[in-house]
């Protein structure tokens, strides 16, 4: 069966930075494969484009430029905010404002965001709203393990159930 829209795809992959010889970012080797429904918008479009038409047993190796993955790093996504906005009962919880910590935030309209603490000053904090992988060229190597029809429940939920997917 060929990878095409609305098929369940299970792949084992290794993701490295820039090239096949780059620093390893993550890998499914030795664990569960990545499972997704092809074409429903859950994956990076260029990732899917490179897998389109492959079959179970096919191996792959391809790069995706940062602009086509999680975007280029955007300096304007660094925002300084008052340190006191993190106070609870007049004090900031210990360990909250550590450089690198990813904080869940909510704006005045109730929208949820995540930002990493990039700098802590005396009365201000600089937050980085870039995706953690922004500005990083990606390189995937791996193998297609399974391609199958998605069942109606998976299509309705928009994700894979069972092996390599979501367990209800």
Q: Are 141 and 135 in contact (CB under 8 A)?
A: no
Instruction: State residue 158's pLDDT score.
Output: 87
Residues 57, 109 within the same domain:
no
What is the number of structural domains in the chain? Answer: 2
Which among 123, 136, 12, 120 is positioned nearest to 67, based on CA atoms?
Answer: 136
Q: Does residue 153 lie within any of the structural domains? A: yes
Which among 19, 1, 27, 11 is positioned nearest to 160, based on CA atoms?
Answer: 11
Tell me which residue range forms the domain holding 80.
75-128
- Residue 135: other Cβ atoms inside 10 A: 15
Q: Does residue 166 lie within any of the structural domains? A: no
| Rounded Cα gap, residues 129 and 51, in angstroms | 30
Residues 12, 52 within the same domain:
yes
- pLDDT tens for the chain, 168 residues long, are 999 999 999 999 999 999 999 999 999 999 999 999 999 999 999 999 999 999 999 999 999 999 999 999 999 999 999 999 999 998 999 999 999 999 999 888 999 999 999 999 999 999 999 999 999 999 999 999 999 999 999 999 888 987 655 544
Residues 148, 95 within the same domain:
no
Instruction: State residue 166's pLDDT score.
Output: 53
Q: What is the pTM of this model?
A: 0.83
CATH of the domain at 33: 3.10.50.40
Q: Does residue 145 lie within any of the structural domains? A: yes
pLDDT tens digit string along 68-79?
999 999 999 999
């Amino acid at each position: 069966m060929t990878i095409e829209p609305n098929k369940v795809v299970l792949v084992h992959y290794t993701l490295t930075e820039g090239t096949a010889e780059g620093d390893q970012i993550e890998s499914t080797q030795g664990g569960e494969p990545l499972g997704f429904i092809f074409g429903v918008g859950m994956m990076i479009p260029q990732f899917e484009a490179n897998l389109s038409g492959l079959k179970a047993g096919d191996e792959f190796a391809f790069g995706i430029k940062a602009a086509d993955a999680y975007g280029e790093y955007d300096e304007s996504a660094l925002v300084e905010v008052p340190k006191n906005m993190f106070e609870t009962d007049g004090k900031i919880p210990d360990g909250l404002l550590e450089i690198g910590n990813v904080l869940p935030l909510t704006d005045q309209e109730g929208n949820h965001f995540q930002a990493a603490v990039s700098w802590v000053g005396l009365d201000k904090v600089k937050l980085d709203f870039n995706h953690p992988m922004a500005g990083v060229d990606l390189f995937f190597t791996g193998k297609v393990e399974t391609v199958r029809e998605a069942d109606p429940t998976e299509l309705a939920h928009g994700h894979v159930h069972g092996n390599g997917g979501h367990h209800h």
